[in-house]
Chains A and B, each alone.
Chain A
């Protein structure tokens, strides 16, 4: 009699639930997963190596393309590492702007996550609702940086420019009637902060809507509860960070534990899970969106007050790092030289090494940079959270069914840009 062998299934990279280019070799006993072996490298773009051949600032746009759903947080980690090496202070207004955009990014990321996770589990309507809200937030990205996705807005020493006083307006077209354009432009009639405030007021109600669709839905619960349980001890051993770790009940959040920028001045809570299953991670992320919304409101209020008092600078006044204002450059020899040096050679970062990490929507995003004193990094190491989470795939998926693998990939919130780098 022939041996009964397990069924080996190649899951991805061309698969609707592969979240990009995940390739997994699954060993199945019937529908039960015996072994899940994730393969990586299909989106490898050698970001770390490319950074060695670019000036420090030239690599900022590459950071956007790591985790391409939480762009500004990646930039933040990178800029913080450079600032640490340079030993410079970021102006307080820039810190608030950074925190505000970090939280916008967190909501952007979690919205995309809830949409795709829903889609993986079969609730396909979620993704369209989530994208409706994302639209407003990418509009904010666009207003501040000119790009809806790959913003390249943060700079070592601050941010590229101050918040704009007006939002881009819609124009009437074949596809958008006058009435539609009016309703779209009405909320965009004020400054960026006005628009964002309008969003912040609307958003909790929208979150409630999502929760009515998912949180107490029996099928949703049946698909997520007790799927992919990770104990707190094991989560720490595996190096989990972010919602994956908090879902297991460990209250670890860099924004609280190692506050950077102005997080220590802001009032927000860290949600944690109890059992460490996919459902807890879902709840944690939903609550994180509400907390981000709280932070956003505080940042808006502070920035409003600051603007009323005459807005402070948004980038360091150290002209060895940040370019001088345009007027100064036109009238002043020294500033012209600074500008010339910065635009040809870039920043010279003193010799040394530094690690800086931010609480990225997916976990701890760290940059370890070594400088030999030149105008480009000697070595750059990126610590992506998703890579660590993906490596727990086998442990989390073992013993579950094929359909759960999809739910687990969804709960990990995997983006291949950062895993393959």
Chain B
């Protein structure tokens, strides 16, 4: 009712420009909480890793340190953006935006429940693959335009890494879309609500993660590599090459930082939607709701932080070997296995 009343009010006010305004409003409603979530994800990362490392983490700014991310943001906003001599100024400044924009744009097709989605397009999975691939340009361009040897190495490393893992990730997704028979993220979630276990009220066993367990593993690890997070953080590799963004300061650096965390939230959401049943309730006696989606995203995000505190960093060639010699063959084999399974009388995805 409220929504309808607001819609009419705005329609009367803006006239023919209304659809545009309405869409913009919806975009803001997604982006603003997302940015807040990104800010507080950085806070939670510091807190959680702090607890794992017998530290306290930030607790000085505001109650329990809750204002810390805002203080960090203000500090970075007020700092000078130093542009190194010899850097290509235009590309140098555009690169952070290249990294950040795709992480936000991909949210256009993310469904929060049956109806709540900005753009319910049928090729939404394809759209996400296409848009997130652009993110790597931000990193390559920043490494290239900084005119720094360290940044250049970081850019090269990350280009190779992201392209390799995109293949493994893409193949894992092909398996998902095969069993879902759809590229629409909403339909993929709905497909997971059916099955033998779901009928007995054990919905969480009908989600894609169980029948596609190897793909779930590959996808989860590939997303860690895709977002350049530890133990695959060699694009940053702070103890080796300091990172593709060594030359960045102030808000230009902060945008890379935001992009990394926004990407983390995005891939966690995708994991939740593709493998963990999106907004579906894990058990029959509880209703489906967007709460479940957020709970699953948080769980996957916690996994990201947890492995960062636990594992050493891979070496460049080892990451490549894992991607090309382990994940891609595994995905191909599993693709064929699932294809045969679907053709057999034991097909569970009818």
Residues of chain A whose beta carbon lies under 8 Å from any beta carbon of chain B: 7, 9-10, 15-17, 31, 118-125, 128-129, 132, 213-214, 217, 219-220, 222-223, 401-404, 406
Residues B315 and A401 in contact, CB atoms below 8 Å apart = yes
Q: Is B153 an interface residue (CB 8 A)?
A: yes
Taking a contact as CB atoms closer than 8 A, the residue among A17, A123, A128, A403 that contacts B311 in the complex is A123
Please, which residues of chain B bring their CB within 8 A of the CB of A118? 312
Residue in A closest to B230 when the chains form the complex, CB atoms: A122
- B53, B149, B240: the one contacting A406 at CB < 8 Å is B240
Q: Apart from A9-B153, A125-B53, A128-B54, what 12 extra A-B contacts exist at CB < 8 Å?
A: A16-B242, A31-B317, A122-B239, A123-B310, A124-B53, A124-B309, A125-B310, A214-B312, A222-B315, A223-B315, A404-B315, A406-B240
Report A-chain residues with C-beta under 8 Å of the C-beta of B316.
Answer: 31, 401-403
**Which chain A residues border B238 with CB–CB below 8 Å?**
16
Is B295 an interface position by the 8 A CB rule?
Answer: no
If A16-B238, A406-B240 touch, does A222 touch B309 (CB 8 Å cutoff)? no
A15 to B241, CA, bound (A): 8
Complex Cα–Cα for A123 and B309 (A): 7
Is B317's CB under 8 angstroms from A122's CB? Answer: no
Contact B318–A402 (Cβ < 8 Å): no
Determine which of A17, A128, A402 lies in contact with B53 in the assembled complex, contact meaning CB atoms within 8 Å.
A128
The docked-state distance in angstroms from the alpha carbon of A132 to that of B237 is 25
Contacting pair B239 A402 (CB below 8 A): no
**A220, B312: Cβ atoms closer than 8 Å:** yes
A13 to chain B, nearest CB (A): 14
Known contacts A7-B149, A401-B315; A219/B237 CB under 8 A: no
Given A7-B149, A122-B231, A128-B54, A402:B241 Cβ within 8 A? yes
- By beta carbon, the residue of chain A nearest B52 is A125
Alpha-carbon separation in the docked complex, A299 to B233 (Å):
45
Point out the residues of chain A lying under 8 angstroms from B294, CB to CB.
none
Q: Given A121-B312, A122-B231 in contact, is the A403-B240 Cβ separation under 8 Å? A: yes
Q: Does B189 contact A (CB under 8 A)?
A: no
B26 interface residue per 8 A CB criterion? no
Name B's A-contacting residues (CB within 8 A): 49, 52-55, 149-150, 153, 157, 230-231, 233-234, 237-242, 309-318
Distance of A4 from chain B, by nearest CB (Å): 15
Asked if B149 contacts A9 (CB within 8 A), the reply is yes
Given A16-B238, A125-B53, A402-B240; A219-B311 close (CB under 8 Å) = yes
Listed from nearest, the 7 A-B pairs whose CB atoms lie closest are A122-B313, A123-B312, A128-B53, A17-B239, A122-B312, A121-B312, A403-B315
Q: Which residues from A are CB-within-8-Å of B314?
A: 219, 222-223
Closest Cβ neighbor of B150 among chain A residues:
A9
CB of A135 to closest CB in B, whole Å: 11
Knowing A7-B149, A31-B153 are in contact, say whether A129-B315 is a contact too (CB < 8 A): no
State whether A402 and B153 are in contact (beta carbons under 8 Å apart), knowing that A122-B311, A124-B309 are contacts in the complex: yes
Name the contact of A219 in the complex, choosing from B153, B231, B233, B239 (C-beta under 8 A): B231
Choose from A17, A124, A125 the contact partner of B240 (Cβ within 8 Å): A17
- State A388–B265 Cα separation when bound (angstroms): 49
- Whether the Cβ atoms of B242 and A122 lie closer than 8 Å is no
Question: A117: nearest residue on chain B (CB-CB)?
Answer: B312
Q: Which residues of A contact B231 (CB under 8 A)?
A: 122, 219
Most buried by A among B55, B150, B313: B313
Q: Determine how close the nearest CB of chain B comes to the CB of A184; give it in whole angstroms.
A: 14
Tell me whether A401 and B54 are in contact (CB under 8 A): no
Bound complex: CA A219 to CA B315 (Å): 9
Asked if A132 contacts B54 (CB within 8 A), the reply is: yes
From B49, B150, B157, B312, A217 is in contact (CB under 8 Å) with: B312
Known contacts A15-B242, A16-B242, A402-B240: A128-B55 contact under CB 8 Å: yes
Chain B residues within an 8 Å CB radius of A122? 230-231, 233, 237, 239, 311-313
Give, as a whole number of angstroms, the nearest-CB distance from B233 to chain A. 7
Closest to A18 in B: B239
Q: Once the chains are docked, how many angstroms separate the CA of A304 from the CA of B180? A: 73
Given known A-B contacts A31-B153, A121-B312, A122-B311, A401 and B317 have beta carbons under 8 A apart = yes
What would 12 A/B residue contacts be, using CB atoms closer than 8 Å? Answer: A10-B149, A31-B153, A121-B239, A121-B312, A122-B231, A125-B49, A125-B53, A128-B53, A213-B310, A219-B314, A220-B312, A401-B315
Tell me which residues across on chain B come within 8 A of A217, comparing CB atoms: 311-312
Nearest-Cβ distance from residue B84 to partner chain A, whole angstroms: 15
Nearest CB on A from B200, distance (A): 38
Give chain A nearest CB distance to B258 CB in angstroms: 22
* Inter-chain contacts of A10 with B (CB < 8 A): 149
- CB neighbours of B234 from chain A (8 A): 403
Which residues on the A side are within 8 Å of B317 (C-beta)?
Answer: 31, 401
